[in-house]
Structure 1
Amino acid sequence: MNKQNPVKYWKVNIKYVLILLAIWFLVSYGAGILFKEELDTIQLGGFKLGFWFAQQGSMYVFVVLIFVYVRLMNKLDKKYGYDA
């Protein structure tokens, strides 16, 4: 098991985390609060889109981001030799 460059591994890991958290912030805060008025002009299942993002959309995006993070980390682990 050849573990290559742990410092670079953690830098990439932190980069992934920051990018994914920024996406979640934009969806939860941006779509649910900042852009609510613009999004409320669109309906989704009978509900205004701004309301939907504030109530459920950000949670769905968060769950999707967890799966994206797992996939990214599996690839990163294999690249740097940290896979089991």
Structure 2
Amino acid sequence: MTSKQRATAYWKENIKYLCILLSIWFLVSYGAGIVFKDLLNHIHIGGFELGFWFAQQGAIYVFVILIFVYIRLMNKLDKKYGYDK
């Protein structure tokens, strides 16, 4: 595999990871916080309705977790394509 092919494959996989992780964040922030809010409000956490909790804090927590997932995925990807040096 040439250097250019390796770089192209690296970025293609990187973009795939980004799309998946951003889709998860969108579904959690928009879906759980807005679309499914009424359904989730029947569940309570710490005295607050779950739909309200996702809209206020849950999406932020998920975003922070996704940052760490992205770091782990990128470290593996760097090693796979030899960019970890």
> Which TM-score band (shorter chain)?
over 0.9
Aligned runs of 1:64-79 on 2, under 5 Å?
A: 64-79=65-80
Structure 1 residue 81: Cα displacement:
0.2
CA distance in 1, matches of 2:46, 2:83: 44
Question: Which has the bigger relative contact order, CA under 8 A and spacing at least 6?
Answer: 1
TM-score scaled by length of structure 1: 0.95
Structure 1: unaligned runs, 5 residues or longer: none
State the 1:32 CA deviation. 0.2
Q: Aligned residue for 2:47?
A: 46
User: CA offsets per residue over residues 24-66 of structure 1, 9 Å max, x none?
Assistant: 0000000000000000000011100000000000000000000
Percent identity between matched residues is: 73
Deviating above 6 A after TM superposition, structure 1's stretches of 4 or more consecutive aligned residues are: none
Q: What is the number of residues matched between the two proteins?
A: 83
Q: CA deviation at 1:10?
A: 0.2
Any gaps of 5 or more consecutive residues in structure 2? none
Q: Residue type matched to 2:68 in 1? A: F
Q: Does 1:32 align with 2:33?
A: yes
Q: Cα RMSD (Å) of the superposition? A: 1.4
